[in-house]
Structure 1
Amino acid sequence: MSTKGKFESTRRRLSEQQAETVDRLTTAAVTVLRTNGFSGLTVRMVATEAGVAAATAYTYFSSKSHLVAEVFWRRLNALPHETPADGDSVERVCDVLRQVALLVSDEPELAAAVTTAMMGDDPDVEHLRIRIGREIRARLSEALGPRHDPDVLEALEIAWSGALVRAGMGYESYAQIAERLETTAKLIMAGQRKA
């Protein structure tokens, strides 16, 4: 990742020192979530945990939903983006969906918070939702191959977003959702030419 992209925020470009502050805040958010859950999380608590002033935290994050959505975006963005040359398109798509579904699977408080945060109406969350959606679309598109059916891509995106909601509602764990997404992807892609 270029230095320019490393310091990009949802609100503005960041200097190295500002990026370090944002890193501390996002790390602290996960710590606070583990003990207090999303309902008990406040930006002020996260600022205290990170050792920064609350006013400073609010210059970077407009709400707790914005902060949690940023944590998810950073984790997604950190996932390797290389599509393996081996395997067919079904295997590649299943791999992408599994990686995304398991991104927060070992942290139940964060997983639940991500779903809640992503549904928020904060404009900064909306911006992140768009970025996250574009990133997942790009990964799925790459996994499908250059001559994929746009309807298949859209169905896979809908399956992913539906799975996020289903996990957030507590119907299944993110690990179970990863398995369901693989089955769903295979059903959606049944009969597709293996690229």
Structure 2
Amino acid sequence: MAYLHRDDRREVILLAAMRVALAEGFSAMTVRRVATEAGVATGQVHHHFSSASALKAQAFIRLIDALLEVEVVPATAPWRDQLHAMLGSDEGGLEPYVRLWREALLLASKDPEIKGAYLITLEMWHDKVVELIDKGRAAGEFTRQDPAQEIAWRLIAFVCGMDGICMLGLPDVDDAAFNRHLAVMITQALC
């Protein structure tokens, strides 16, 4: 690899970690695997990140930040549709992100770095949901006036719970049921 400034080399390593995480998950995200993907020596990874957990946490935050910026529905879509997409989308291309989110939740109980990253990403998601609620209210689409912050947490909690139930593979709780229930929750919370 050609000479890179410190920040550039750190970015190359972080981008490699993000690729490994999306393709193979956190369990495959070893220092050696990331170094190979980045085309650097393992010592470079250790030089730029205090631990493998710190690297995983930073990669996770960056990936979820990117996920939250994905335009699943057009920006001109009704606010309700935009909110629904932000809370739960059938977009198949997002599945690697969802798998990583689920894996991070499991790791959070054992790894303080991942737990911290998971909490940061929950706050980021919450901020986006609040923003959409506020915009929907300003447009007159959402009429219920409970605090947007509280509604956002309720909706996120519902989505996380439904996702857990869907993962169990119950016959009556599939993606279609998830979307129906989420639509009802959005209506009850905001209209």
TM-score with structure 2 length normalisation? 0.63
In structure 2, C-alpha distance between the alignment counterparts of 1:45 and 1:25, rounded to whole Å:
11
Write the distance in 2 (CA, Å) between the matches of 1:70 and 1:163: 27
Q: Which has the larger radius of gyration?
A: 2
Residues 1:102 and 1:162: Cα distance change in structure 2 (over 3 Å):
farther
Aligned residues: 169
CA distance in 2, matches of 1:36, 1:157: 26
Aligned to 2:131: 142
Helix, strand or coil for the counterpart of 2:94? coil
The range that moved more, 181-190 or 134-143, is: 181-190
| Higher RCO structure, 1 or 2 (CA under 8 Å, sep 6+) | 1
CA-to-partner distance for each residue in 1:93-136, whole Å, 9 max, x for gaps? 1121246976732x4xx653442234323222122112101110
1:66 Cα deviation (Å)? 4.6
Contact 1:75-1:103 within 8 A present in 2 as well: no
Q: Which amino acid aligns with 1:153?
A: A
Residue 112 (str. 1) matches residue 99 (str. 2) = yes
Asked if the contact 1:33–1:41 (Cα under 8 Å) also holds between the matched residues in 2, the reply is: yes
Cα 1:185–1:125 shift into 2, 3 Å: same
Name the CA distance, whole Å, in 1 between partners of 2:129 and 2:15: 28
Aligned residue in 1 for 2:181: 184
Alignment check: 8 A CA contact 2:87 2:156 kept:
no
Q: Report if aligned partners of 1:25, 1:47 keep a CA contact under 8 Å in 2.
A: yes
Contact 2:32/2:42 (8 A) holds in 1: yes
Instruction: Provide structure 2 residue ranges, at least 5 long, that are not aligned to the other structure.
Output: 138-144
Aligned-pair CA distance for 1:80: 3.3
1:156 offset after TM fit, Å? 1.1
* 2:78 is equivalent to residue 87 of structure 1: yes
In structure 1, distance between residues paired with 2:22 and 2:76: 38
Q: Name stretches of at least 5 consecutive residues in structure 1 with no aligned partner.
A: 1-15
| Code of the aligned partner of 1:87 | P
Q: In the TM superposition, what are the counterparts of 1:1-195 in structure 2 within 5 Å?
A: 17-29=5-17, 31-32=19-20, 38-58=26-46, 59-60=48-49, 62-63=51-52, 66-78=54-66, 79-80=68-69, 84=75, 87-88=78-79, 90-98=80-88, 104-105=94-95, 107=96, 111-120=98-107, 121-145=110-134, 147-149=145-147, 150-162=149-161, 165=164, 171=169, 181-194=178-191
The answer (yes or no) to whether the contact 1:159–1:181 under 8 Å persists in 2 is no
Instruction: Please give the per-residue CA displacement for 1:33-59, whole angstroms capped at 9, x wherever unaligned.
Output: 577654444222211221223233134
Identity of aligned residues (%): 20
Alpha-carbon RMSD? 3.9
Distance 1:100 1:134 in 2: 22
Contact 1:76 1:103 in 2 (8 A): no
Shift of 1:183: 2.8
Please report the TM-score for the alignment, with normalisation by the length of structure 1: 0.62
Secondary structure of the residue aligned to 1:52 is: coil
Amino acid at match of 1:49: E
